[in-house]
Amino acid sequence: MAWELATFPSDLLPSQLEVEGADVQVVRPGEPVRVTHVLDAVEPRIRPDGRAAFPTKGKAGEGRTNRLDGVVVLSCLDFAEEERPLHEQESIVDLAGPGAEFTPFGDETCVVLTFRPGEAGNEDAEAAARKTTLRVAEELARPTLDAEPAEVETFELGAGDENLPRVGALIQLSDLGPLYHLYVYGTPAGQAGLPRIVDPAELLDGAVTSGEYHWAAMRNPTIFFQRNTLVRSLYAEHGKRLRFADVVLMRGYEQSADDKQRAAEAAAARAQELGADGVVITTDAGGNSHTDVMLTCRACERAGIRTTVILAEETDPESTRPILTDWVPEADSIVSTGNLEEQVEEWKPERVLGGDTLLDGTAAASAGPIPVRNYLGAANQMGQLTLGARTE
């Protein structure tokens, strides 16, 4: 079944927005603005047939979905100081200056929602912010219902040449508890029956949304699923260099060695069900999720499925040797998405949204060099950012 994605220009963006319990600012591309305490980034989407753009029931990836091009909704929330989430890191988006090169939002019109949590606890405040952000993203796209699209893309997988290798994507979803969930049709990943095979169009069409708020550079905001470059690239190469063998969603942050091994073998078994000759394995966040990925790599290789793993490094900038959290000998094809410990040079924005003070107490408008780890999506391990190589 085909799925259509219709693109509309950003001049359909409403000029005024009102959201209860949040301050709203619209920032045009390239403005000298720094956004702090960023929770999520979402592309405005709506379905002409009235179904939810971010469904909790039914199936995504069917019919048509309208998208508002060049627009992203950024949600911001400063959690109560005494209830900070474990491992919470600052999450920054710079729309100009050197930091703009590290996240893909500097060229976007950003609708920034700064939520006021009031007396609610962290989990209640987060749930309200997350659900409101998705509703706002859907409402922003509503003007497209009465407009002609600038472009229509169709995503459909035919049979393909059987002589071409079958390649799948194993996409890891974080699940470490409240404030560390990714959601599959509104259900936390750990309760969504992972690993499971899904139509790749489902991933692009709102089936997965974000609710995790640590390791800003390595987390996967909702927009990275909506615009997933890895999935779109595999679609584009289907029938040319390969046959796209669908997507397996798998859980990250299994908490015991036995659970990690079982989950890795189960993910490899799903890849075998796809008839995959090779898979690309993505990573979400950091720490023990890297061990889950490496064990999955080993399980796939031992099942005869060739692998490529996408990982970020945590290397002292003075060192010439890359440092990975975990590694297995079978991981002989690794794509590095960058070094979390690199420093982004100092830049003074004219305006700060989200919150004037960073989590370390530094004034956001006058902060010195900031590590890459604190920029939202800067070292994304899902194949989302444009990568390059250089020789020295």
pLDDT digits (tens, 9 = 90+) for 168-204: 999 999 888 888 999 999 999 999 999 999 999 999 9
Residue 172's nearest CA partner among 94, 230, 128 is 230
Residue type at 309? V
Tokens at residue 105, please?
A: 């939002």
Distances (CA, A) of 36 to 92, 133, 135, 139, 223: 5, 16, 21, 24, 18
* Torsion angle (degrees, nearest 10) of CA 201, 205, 206, 208: 20
> ∠ at Cα 338 (333, 340), nearest 5°?
130
φ and ψ at residue 270, rounded to 5 degrees: -65, -40
Q: What is the pLDDT of residue 320?
A: 65
Q: What is the pLDDT of residue 327?
A: 86
d(CA 169, CA 203): 11
Q: What is the pLDDT of residue 387?
A: 57
Q: What is the pLDDT of residue 103?
A: 85
d(CA 130, CA 56): 14
Q: What is the pLDDT of residue 10?
A: 80
CB 343 within 8 A of CB 369: yes
φ and ψ at residue 82, rounded to 5 degrees: -75, -5
Q: What is the pLDDT of residue 86?
A: 53
- Whether the CA torsion 40, 42, 47, 50 is positive or negative: it is positive
Q: Which residues contact 331 (CB under 8 A, 6 or more apart)?
A: 294, 297, 298, 307, 309
d(CA 189, CA 173): 6
> ∠ at Cα 218 (54, 213), nearest 5°?
60
Q: Along the 392 residues of the chain, how does pLDDT read in single tens digits?
A: 578 898 888 877 665 555 557 899 999 999 999 999 999 999 999 999 999 999 999 899 999 999 999 999 999 998 876 666 655 679 999 999 999 998 889 899 999 999 987 777 888 889 999 999 999 999 999 999 999 999 999 999 988 889 999 999 999 998 888 889 999 999 999 999 999 999 999 999 999 999 998 889 999 999 999 999 999 999 999 999 999 999 999 999 998 999 999 999 999 999 999 999 999 999 998 888 999 999 999 999 999 999 999 999 888 777 667 777 788 999 999 999 988 889 999 999 999 999 999 888 899 999 889 999 999 999 999 988 765 555 55
d(CA 34, CA 291): 34
Tokens at residue 45, please?
A: 């989407």
How far is C-alpha 130 from the chain's CA centre?
Answer: 14
